[in-house]
Structure 1
Amino acid sequence: MIPKAYDAVLLASFGGPEGQDDVIPFLRNVTGGRGIPDERLEEVAVHYRTNGGVSPINAQNRALKAALEAEFAARGITVPIYWGNRNWHPFVNDTLEQIAADGHRTVLLMGTGAYSGYSACRQYREDLGMGLRATGLEGVVEVDKLRQFFDTPAFVQPFIQELPGSLASVREQLAAAGKPEGKIKIVFVTHSIPLSDANAAGPEAIRSTLDENLYTAQHRAVAEHILANVPEAAGLEHSLVYQSRSGSPHTPWLEPDINDALEEDAAAGVAGVVVVPIGFISDHMEVLWDLDTEAKDTCAELGLAFARVPTPGTHRAFVSGLVDLVEERLAGPDGKPLREGRLSETALGPWFDVCRPGCCEKLAMDGTLRPTIGAVDSEVGVPQP
């Protein structure tokens, strides 16, 4: 990828409600075109209603934007950062119009999904393309997407630095319960997606070389790298599980679900678990509900000690590492990248700056390409009729 003189950065995310009156309109946006009645949406709305109707994700994105701006200023990067959401205010189309009104024409998009897959990558590019067309800015504003960052120091270092503290917490809980020698397991968790989406993640040239789908392989590579760099985890059993599946029960999704896996762990003699949410960059609603509420409650019922590692959020290493990735793509005074080299910590990276044709398509259950409307994303899963 030849560096460009980008004149704006767009932080793009899923969005979330910020009050009780926002919840159902937000969920209608998420499920647009699927004809799901409001009474079905209320089954998910309870997650937000118990939090005052507020998703943490918007506040987290404001904090991330502020942290990125501070890091830009510290490095002398004068490119402004904008923020837009796909499903709630500020909507990405409104942000595109503001970017254009402010005179910017070459934009670098920073999505908040770390891994390959339709919802984590391609859908961001499609939404921005449709946004440019809808706002009349197609051919006026150019938007390129920052590469996926699952394999970078930015993403893995916060987990490496925080895992020892969570392990210590579980050991303290077990000691207090009179089980100082109790078996501890590290449970890596990510968002489940339809098996058809998992099988379509990434370009065929890479998919064909793997023994499993790329989405799972990327998460497994991240988990293995974290374990290899945390001495306190040496010798501990670990697993990769999934959360937040939704949709028709007849549609295959990635398994096992974390709660089912926890029951099996308890039956196998595990005394405590450390949950590592490697599928997520911030403690948004699904982390707080599916892990800190449901999975934690499951552990309490099973008598398992429980600790959850924080997501990267605004961790210093995450913010600094994201700016490293931006610098990879900026053109310096002599037309060369401001930062040499492409950072990566796993054998599956560094990922592409420009996605390959046919990468991460949205497929039907029979394997055929289908319209890319209403995909699952990593902030909320909605039950289908």
Structure 2
Amino acid sequence: MTAPHYDAILLAGFGGPEGQDDVIPFLRNVTRGRGIPDERLEEVATHYRHFGGISPINDHNRALKAALEAELSARGVNLTVLWGNRNWAPYLKDAVVDAHERGYRRLLGIATSAYSSYSSCRQYREDFAAALDDTGMAGVITIDKVRQFFDHPGFVAPFIAGVSDALAELEDHGIDPGRVHVLFSTHSIPITDAERSGPRDVDFGPGGAYAAQHRAVAEVVMAAQRTRPAWQLVYQSRSGPPSMPWLEPDIVDAIDSLDREAVDAIVIVPLGFVSDHMEVMWDLDTEAREAAEQRGFRVVRTPTPGVDPAFVSGLIDLVQERMNGVDEADRPALTELGPWFDVCRPACCENVRAGFKPAVAGVAP
């Protein structure tokens, strides 16, 4: 609960291709070290090529960066917002070089992912450490990180509003709320990673902290609704060998299992995602929607937080929380799991296949 001085915010994104020629090089970056041939990558590339080889994620981050800058200005907070990606330009190391050239020495990172797992938290911390090492800035520049914000009101509010609007739209079409099924969707991860998500000294139940956080947020979203139809947590976008167990059920399987005699409509909620990127556009808006419509269900997909004012304001709240050393008791959280901690615990969110790599903003390893 200290009040450190920060020079700038580092917005950390996943990155995405911005043209057909970028697609395979981008996918090589994403799968680096796995030895996946280009022929296999081309199978995934078809999703991007369907949309002109362009992922919307970079444009989203440009918009989010601008929105954060506007909110900082409105609050009179003098902080620059830098932006760097894990898998595509501008890269995190470019942002670190930019920071050094501007004379910045202490950065506060915001990763565009709300939940706890290797790919959504620890890997960003490893990315920060690698960027410092690659640029020779380790020991010169410090990068901290805001807490995981899965249950911060600013992140949850857009989902509450989105589900409310979706249920109202279906009612306007004469659909009984009792015949609606809500599917909260997030990215599937290997079960071994899920079980190691979050601190190792806490038992979060099946799926570890990752699944527990999503379930807790979905419960908050549904508790805020005027009507409360049936709902479930589902997963999407699994990859990897069939021999490796991943979190289930897959959203398409869940749709196929719904009783057509009892359900008229489904609401798809991209609960695990900050913005509309390829896995939302393809896995939800294309594959899941087609599966639902083939079964005869009416479908409504709710928005991601994007640059919703509540979300943008919430992110700056997290920045000021760190800058001002706000006491834990005064940090907002909508579930009993939060508020999450600033500094990650030992062995938090281990990747059993890759092992532990240097990471910032946590207790070693």
Deviation of 1:214 after TM superposition, in Å, equals 1.6
Distance 2:296 2:82 in 1: 46
Q: Does residue 1:193 correspond to 2:178, yes or no?
A: no
Q: Does residue 1:230 correspond to 2:219, yes or no?
A: no
Paired residue secondary structure (1:205) = coil
State the aligned residue count: 358
Provide, for residues 8-47 of structure 1, a one-character-per-residue CA deviation record: whole Å limited to 9, x for no partner.
1000010000001100110011111111111111111111
Deviation of 1:102 after TM superposition, in Å, equals 0.4
Q: For residues 30-69 of structure 1, what are the structure 2 equivalents within 5 Å?
A: 30-69=30-69
Aligned residue number for residue 205 of structure 1 = 201
Contact 1:14 1:88 in 2 (8 A): yes
Paired residue secondary structure (1:273) = strand
Deviation of 1:171 after TM superposition, in Å, equals 3.4
Deviation of 1:172 after TM superposition, in Å, equals 4.2
Aligned residue number for residue 382 of structure 1 = none
Distance 1:180 1:320 in 2: 35
Deviation of 1:266 after TM superposition, in Å, equals 3.6
**Among 203, 217, 220, which residue is 2:215 paired with?**
220
Change (3 A) 1:209 1:63: closer
**Among 229, 242, 247, which residue is 2:240 paired with?**
247
Deviation of 1:229 after TM superposition, in Å, equals 1.0
Paired residue secondary structure (2:149) = coil
Q: Does residue 1:285 correspond to 2:291, yes or no?
A: no
Contact 1:113 1:121 in 2 (8 A): yes
Provide, for residues 260-294 of structure 1, a one-character-per-residue CA deviation record: whole Å limited to 9, x for no partner.
00011145621110011110010111001100111
Q: Identity, % of aligned pairs?
A: 54
Matching residue's letter, 2:186? T
Distance 1:267 1:306 in 2: 13
Paired residue secondary structure (1:269) = coil
Aligned residue number for residue 121 of structure 2 = 121
Q: For residues 144-183 of structure 1, what are the structure 2 equivalents within 5 Å?
A: 144-173=144-173, 175=174, 183=179
Deviation of 1:130 after TM superposition, in Å, equals 1.2
Provide, for residues 285-337 of structure 1, a one-character-per-residue CA deviation record: whole Å limited to 9, x for no partner.
10011001110000110000100110000001000111111100114xxxx65
| Aligned CA-pair RMSD | 1.9
Deviation of 1:363 after TM superposition, in Å, equals 1.3
Unaligned stretches of 5+ in structure 2? 359-365
Aligned residue number for residue 350 of structure 1 = 339
Aligned residue number for residue 383 of structure 1 = none
Aligned residue number for residue 260 of structure 1 = 253
Contact 1:327 1:339 in 2 (8 A): no
Deviation of 1:343 after TM superposition, in Å, equals 1.3
Q: Does residue 1:370 correspond to 2:355, yes or no?
A: yes
Deviation of 1:71 after TM superposition, in Å, equals 0.3
Paired residue secondary structure (1:204) = coil
Matching residue's letter, 1:357? P
Contact 2:198 2:208 in 1 (8 A): no
Distance 1:338 1:262 in 2: 43
Matching residue's letter, 2:333? S
Matching residue's letter, 2:238? R
Distance 2:221 2:241 in 1: 34
Q: Does residue 1:297 correspond to 2:290, yes or no?
A: yes
Matching residue's letter, 1:203? P
Distance 1:152 1:337 in 2: 14
Matching residue's letter, 1:270? V
Change (3 A) 1:147 1:362: same
Contact 2:111 2:124 in 1 (8 A): yes
Aligned residue number for residue 269 of structure 1 = 262
Distance 1:133 1:241 in 2: 38
Provide, for residues 112-157 of structure 1, a one-character-per-residue CA deviation record: whole Å limited to 9, x for no partner.
1100110110000111101101100010000001110001001101
